[in-house]
Structure 1
Amino acid sequence: MLSVKKLNQFYGQSHTLWDLDLEVPTGECTCLMGRNGVGKTTLLECIMGLLPVKDGSIEYQNQNIATLSAERRAPLGIGYVPQGRQIFPLLTVEENLRIGLPARSDRSNKVPDYIYDLFPVLKDMLQRRGGDLSGGQQQQLAIGRALVIDPKMLILDEPTEGIQPNVVAEIGDIIRRLDQEIGLTVLLVEQKLPFARKVADRFCLLDRGRQVATGAMPELNEELVKQYLTV
């Protein structure tokens, strides 16, 4: 579904992504992994059009989207949950969810019922302001907001960061449901190895802006973990 090839990106004079390749198969969950500062979030922001790329291709459903503006990528069916959630704290839960509706291809003005089935707490708090929710509830709201656009692919940047363990488990279960029951393609950045092993079908390891290993999740052995993930 998503194919990144020979991608290069710079911050000023700093070369941050080096001829980076990434393959995200349709209907699977791929986990992008690596230590802090290796380029994981930078890559996601390039995919979403939030950062410019120097060269290389980003193909989504066989269309090169590398030159498209960020506003034109979400309507193609790419949902994005950024690191830190970035919900609107002064808007209600319902208003946060409805923000994604204009990007739907069917022009529906109704939040899909299945989002409330996935996240019952959101239905109970529709009129509460986003900033009044707990961290775990805000993360659920951020994921729900991304799902409102009816995406074919969902991109999540460290969805378990700062979240209590019981909600982490719930989010893991929901990712598997989206992947296995709905057939949603998921690209996930995650630091927690047990969580990644639980939810992901495949992994891609980054180190200093380069892809250094990729494969099915069972192939992520202790040697790779020690070399590229342990601090």
Structure 2
Amino acid sequence: MLQIESLKQFYGESHTLWDLSMTIPAGECTCVMGRNGVGKTTLMECIMGLLPLHTGALRFQGHDLARLPAERRAGLGIGYVPQGRQIFPLLTVEENLRIGLPARADRRRQLPEVIFELFPVLDEMRARRGGDLSGGQQQQLAIARALVIDPTLLILDEPTEGIQPNIVHEIGDIIRRLMDQLGLTVILVEQKLPFARRVGDRFAILDRGRLKAEGAMTELGDDLVREYLTV
């Protein structure tokens, strides 16, 4: 699905990703984990094309992503839900959703009904401004906006951050449904270990910009948690 090979990235003089290589298998949820500031969001932004690569390669379903702008990557089927949601607060729910339509490969101009099946609250609030929604509702809107493009790969950067527990559980159910029923592949950046264990199939741990461990979620033992995940 997605191949990351020897990726390096810098912020000015600061080296943020070091020769990072990993494979994201199709149809599974890979949880990218690690403490704050280890390069998780930087990696997601490199995959999406929001940050340039210094060296390395990114290949998605046979396409070389290295020089493609973010909008072209969206058109290939990569959906992105950034940390902090970044919805448009002065636009309505429906207007926020429609922003994603031009990136669809089929050029469809109607919002997919599956969006409102997954998030019925958004159907009820189509005319409400995004900034008037609760934090949990805004997160649902951010995920729905990414799904509008009909992605095959969905990147979620800490979707449970600042969200009430009942909505966190609902988001977990939706992620599993997207994979089980729609066949999506998911990259999930997550710090809540119980949520990651419940939703994820695989884990990849970063530390100081390097990949330190990866494998099936069942292989994430207490020793790795203590060394790389506890604060």
The aligned residue for residue 55 of structure 2 is: 55
The aligned residue for residue 38 of structure 2 is: 38
The aligned residue for residue 171 of structure 1 is: 171
3-state SS, counterpart of residue 127 of structure 2: coil
Give me the whole-angstrom Cα distance separating, in 1, the residues matched to 2:182 and 2:126. Answer: 25
Q: Cα distance, 1:68 vs. partner?
A: 0.9
Task: Give structure 1 regions of 4+ aligned residues with deviation exceeding 2 angstroms.
Answer: none
Q: Which amino acid aligns with 1:40?
A: K
Q: CA RMSD in A?
A: 0.5
* TM-score, with length taken from structure 2: 0.99
3-state SS, counterpart of residue 203 of structure 2: strand
Do residues 73 (structure 1) and 88 (structure 2) align?
no
The aligned residue for residue 122 of structure 1 is: 122
Do residues 93 (structure 1) and 93 (structure 2) align?
yes
Q: Cα distance, 1:172 vs. partner?
A: 0.2
Give me the whole-angstrom Cα distance separating, in 2, the residues matched to 1:78 and 1:150. Answer: 9
The aligned residue for residue 154 of structure 1 is: 154
Q: Cα distance, 1:28 vs. partner?
A: 0.5
The aligned residue for residue 8 of structure 1 is: 8
The aligned residue for residue 228 of structure 1 is: 228
Q: Cα distance, 1:180 vs. partner?
A: 1.1
**CA-to-aligned-CA distance 1:84-128 (integer Å, 9 cap, x gap):** 000000000000001000011111111100110000000000000
Give me the whole-angstrom Cα distance separating, in 1, the residues matched to 2:71 and 2:173. Answer: 30
The aligned residue for residue 23 of structure 2 is: 23
Residue ranges of structure 1 left out of the alignment (5+ in a row): none
Give me the whole-angstrom Cα distance separating, in 2, the residues matched to 1:72 and 1:63. Answer: 11
3-state SS, counterpart of residue 181 of structure 1: helix
3-state SS, counterpart of residue 182 of structure 2: coil
Q: Cα distance, 1:159 vs. partner?
A: 0.1
Q: Which amino acid aligns with 1:23?
A: T
Give me the whole-angstrom Cα distance separating, in 1, the residues matched to 2:216 and 2:15. Answer: 29
Q: Cα distance, 1:45 vs. partner?
A: 0.3
3-state SS, counterpart of residue 162 of structure 1: coil
Residue ranges of structure 2 left out of the alignment (5+ in a row): none
Give me the whole-angstrom Cα distance separating, in 2, the residues matched to 1:96 and 1:36. Answer: 29
* TM-score, with length taken from structure 1: 0.99
Give me the whole-angstrom Cα distance separating, in 2, the residues matched to 1:14 and 1:103. Answer: 33
Q: Cα distance, 1:72 vs. partner?
A: 1.1
Do residues 194 (structure 1) and 194 (structure 2) align?
yes
The aligned residue for residue 180 of structure 1 is: 180
